[in-house]
Structure 1
Amino acid sequence: MNMTKSDLTTTELLLLNSEMNKREKSLGLAYLMLLAGHLGVHRFYLKRIGTGVIQLCLFFLVILFYIVFAISVGVESVESPDSMYSFFFLIPVVLLAIALTVWVIVDACLLPGMVRKWNAELEQSLIAQIIAHRSPAGFGMQR
């Protein structure tokens, strides 16, 4: 059974609003975290741990391949200036960086919906908890 705010008393509504103010996610803060989007910080904030870890791992892979590319370019320039094998390390850097950039751009568009969904689920959960903790009708009333 899906309960709504209209099923709550005034006191319960005050409690709901208080808890929502403490726990709800902010769209503005999520967008600020998106500035570090390649690290997946905004996904961790919205409790999307799995995809946050994937973004973080992809970011570290890009950095790793870039470091290997930079070292191989330096080694090649000393040993054989005509060799171009180091550029094979540049391909994964470019592909992964493009994939992460597209993902962050898509997240920028999806972020309002993700925050709205999180807050709606939180509100439903709080309403269910408040209703579950109601005292039975007439219990504790004095005669």
Structure 2
Amino acid sequence: MNSTMNISKQTLSTTELLILSSEMSKQEKSLTLAYLMLLAGHLGVHRFYLKRPLSGTIQLVLFALTMVCYFVFAIMSAFESEVYSDGLGMSIVFLVLTLLMGLALTIWVIVDACILPGMVKSWNAKLEQSLIDQIVAYRSNAAFTQPK
């Protein structure tokens, strides 16, 4: 069935609406759960939940790089304080990298907190339309296979 057809729910029978409702309750995404996952937002878990693996992976990698820079900064600053009297050296580069990447992640999570309802609503609308298309396609196929 062509997905550009966009059949509405009003064309479905009561049985088909029950099937749609049942499948939606199984597969739809929860805004509450998405917000709970946003608490671990720097890991991109909420994006994986909403089937956005590319941006979820980017958030996860950016978080990992931030943590690596942080630990390198901590180790280097400990050693540099013993070697240099002023305590500043290459560790400042890793501190700046850590702060910049951490700031970018924080801004991204704040933006995600604002757009998350739209992301969940969009996912659920696409799911509903896909299920309606499947129901209508099944209805059409069943009409052809019934003996007359």
Match of 1:121 in 2: 126
Do the aligned partners of residues 138 and 132 (structure 1) sit closer, same or farther apart at CA in structure 2, a change above 3 Å counting? closer
- Which residues in structure 2 correspond to 1:60-79 (within 5 Å)? 60-79=64-83
What is the identity, as a one-letter code, of the residue corresponding to 2:134? Q
Matched residues, number: 141
Do the aligned partners of residues 10 and 72 (structure 1) sit closer, same or farther apart at CA in structure 2, a change above 3 Å counting? same
Q: 2:95 aligns with which of 70, 90, 93?
A: 90
- 1:65-120 deviations in whole A, cap 9, x for unaligned? 00110011011111122241111210110000000000000000000000000000
Match of 1:23 in 2: 27
Deviation of 1:140 (Å) = 4.0
Corresponding position: 1:136 with 2:136: no
Q: So what's the TM-score if we normalise by structure 2?
A: 0.92
CA distance in 1 between counterparts of 2:37 and 2:12 reads 35
Over 6 Å off, 4+ runs: none
Deviation of 1:7 (Å) = 1.0
Deviation of 1:2 (Å) = 1.2
Structure whose residues are more often helix by fraction: 2
Q: So what's the TM-score if we normalise by structure 1?
A: 0.95
Structure 1 residues not aligned, in runs of 5+: none
Identity %: 60
CA distance in 2 between counterparts of 1:63 and 1:77 reads 21
Structure 2 residues not aligned, in runs of 5+: none
